[in-house]
């Protein structure tokens, strides 16, 4: 006779902590394998409607529909980076102008320090020489690390399209595998969890793409207004780097300032670049992110920041990018498992978004004004797990299981 063993709280806490430490360690040592797979999983969710269009509307075979979807995705990525590469090569041609303008600004800074702090130019150069004394040795180490990282990146770039293709190809196979892991009485709950994960992740990725396009357009427009050379290129780079939380916009700002020196040494252009980036970030953080991104994933800012920091600590930029989708998946699972529901509530963002003042809707940040529980509902029909191959899925089955 099977008996349920009830453990005391401290034993449960110890097991939970041990599980978290083990999972984190496994992810850390296996990040070179797991990160491309997780990235491919996100892209597969994004490309699923495109593959479905080719299969259902254009009557393509399943393998061909998946292959064309992945190839189109790769072609778009290659096209964007090819455009950026050609434009960057043009900026490199203007490197002499950049170096000349930087020298002018550096001389002005030295003169300012000399007049206000009574430090001669010779002493300033001496301080700089001492500060960069070991830069050559450190530079060799940085170059070695960079080359190794670049090699890993190239490998991941090659593997991600392959993984994405295979995940889309064997989607039904993987779904049926998950159904075999659980008893039949849990299949309805499992199906609901999978549907909600798909909705949350796809909404988040689409929101990021829309945010990237909006940031690129706003930055390009701002740079054109203040007269920055290569405004379109810098706008696109800013939008792409903005996908990297926190540090991406800093890199974009520094690159924009340096690129602005190709046209003129005027200090007002550099100040204008900084002002444009600040204004775009204010619009992005206060309008675009809450409206486009956060509306798709109901995770509060506190948990998001902690997740991004942990992801960055474990696996760098890739971990920071994957943090929010992983948190969204965990929240969906927690919300639908009774014993984990408190953790799902902790991760959620249940604050009222706006309040009305004189017929004007304004942001509201008062947790005491509402105790209503937010429940995400979708009109997605619950899929039925059947032991079929992906090639024999009928059109009616697809229409029943997709939006």
- In tens, the pLDDT along 114-134 reads 777 777 777 777 777 776 665
At 54, is the pLDDT very low, low, confident or very high (cuts 50, 70, 90)?
A: very high
pLDDT band for 1, please (50, 70, 90 cuts): very low
Cα(298)–Cα(331) distance, integer angstroms: 9
**Percent of residues, the chain, with pLDDT higher than 70:** 74
Residues 6+ away with beta carbon under 8 Å from 379:
403
Domain for residue 106, yes or no?
yes
What pLDDT is recorded for position 378?
Answer: 45
**Closest C-alpha among 43, 45, 35 to residue 319:** 35
Question: Tokens 């064309």 map to which residue?
Answer: 68
Print the domain residue range for 226: 29-132+139-296+350-401
Q: Is position 341 within any domain?
A: no
Distance between first and last Cα of the chain: 46
Rounded to the nearest 10 degrees, the angle between the axes of helix 171-181 and helix 187-226 is 130
* Least trusted range by pLDDT, from 14-18, 104-108, 320-324: 104-108
Domain count for the chain? 1
Q: Averaged over 178-205, what is the pLDDT?
A: 86
Q: Has residue 344 been placed in a domain?
A: no
7 within some domain: no
255 belongs to a structural domain = yes
Q: 95-117 pLDDT, tens per residue?
A: 777 777 777 767 777 777 777 77
pTM of the model: 0.72
Structure tokens at 259: 């690129």
The answer as to whether 310 is a domain residue is no
Calculate the alpha carbon distances from 336 to 281, 304, 320 in Å. 35, 20, 26
**C-alpha radius of gyration, the chain, whole number:** 26
How far is the CA of 185 from the CAs of 89, 114, 327, 332, 343, in angstroms?
Answer: 60, 79, 27, 19, 24
DSSP bridge pairs for 113:
none
Distance CA 124, CA 110 (A): 8
Q: Is residue 370 part of a domain?
A: yes
pLDDT band for position 91 (50/70/90)?
A: confident
Q: Note whether residue 316 is domain-resident.
A: no
300: left (phi over 0), alpha (psi -120 to 50) or beta: beta
Q: What percent of the chain has pLDDT over 90?
A: 13
d(CA 192, CA 37): 23
Q: Which range among 35-39, 172-176, 398-402 shows the weakest confidence by mean pLDDT?
A: 398-402
Distance CA 341, CA 122 (A): 66
């Amino acid at each position: 006779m099977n008996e349920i063993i009830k453990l005391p709280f401290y034993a449960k806490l110890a097991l939970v902590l041990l599980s978290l430490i083990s999972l984190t360690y496994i992810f850390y040592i296996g990040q070179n394998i797991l990160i491309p797979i997780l990235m491919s999983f996100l892209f597969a969710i994004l490309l699923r409607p495109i593959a479905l269009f080719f299969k259902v509307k254009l009557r393509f075979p399943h393998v061909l529909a998946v292959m064309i979807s992945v190839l189109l995705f790769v072609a778009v990525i290659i096209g964007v980076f090819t455009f950026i590469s050609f434009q960057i090569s043009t900026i490199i041609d203007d490197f002499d102008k950049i170096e000349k303008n930087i020298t002018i600004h550096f001389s002005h800074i030295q003169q300012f320090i000399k007049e206000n702090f009574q430090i001669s130019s010779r002493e300033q150069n001496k301080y700089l020489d001492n500060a960069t004394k070991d830069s050559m040795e450190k530079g060799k180490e940085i170059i070695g690390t960079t080359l190794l990282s670049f090699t890993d990146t190239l490998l991941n770039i090659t593997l991600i399209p392959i993984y994405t293709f295979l995940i889309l190809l064997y989607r039904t196979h993987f779904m049926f595998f998950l159904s075999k892991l659980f008893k039949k009485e849990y299949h309805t709950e499992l199906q609901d969890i999978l549907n909600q994960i798909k909705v949350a992740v796809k909404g988040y990725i689409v929101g990021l793409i829309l945010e990237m396009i909006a940031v690129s357009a706003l930055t390009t427009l701002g740079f054109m207004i203040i007269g920055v050379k290569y405004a379109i290129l810098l706008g696109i780079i800013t939008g792409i780097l903005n996908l990297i939380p926190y540090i991406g916009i800093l890199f974009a700002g520094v690159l924009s300032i340096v690129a602005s020196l190709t046209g003129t040494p005027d200090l007002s252009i550099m100040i204008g670049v900084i002002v444009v980036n600040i204004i775009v970030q204010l619009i992005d953080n206060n309008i675009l992110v809450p409206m486009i991104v956060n509306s798709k994933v109901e995770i509060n800012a506190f948990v998001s920041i902690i997740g991004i920091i942990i992801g960055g600590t474990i696996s760098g930029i890739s971990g920071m990018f994957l943090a929010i989708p992983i948190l969204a998946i965990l929240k969906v699972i927690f919300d639908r498992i009774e014993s984990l529901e408190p953790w799902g509530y902790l991760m959620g963002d249940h604050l009222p978004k706006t309040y009305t003042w004189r017929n004007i809707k304004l942001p509201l940040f008062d947790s005491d004004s509402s105790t209503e529980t937010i429940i995400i509902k979708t009109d997605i029909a619950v899929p039925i797990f059947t032991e079929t191959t992906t090639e024999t899925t009928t059109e009616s089955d697809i229409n029943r299981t997709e939006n």
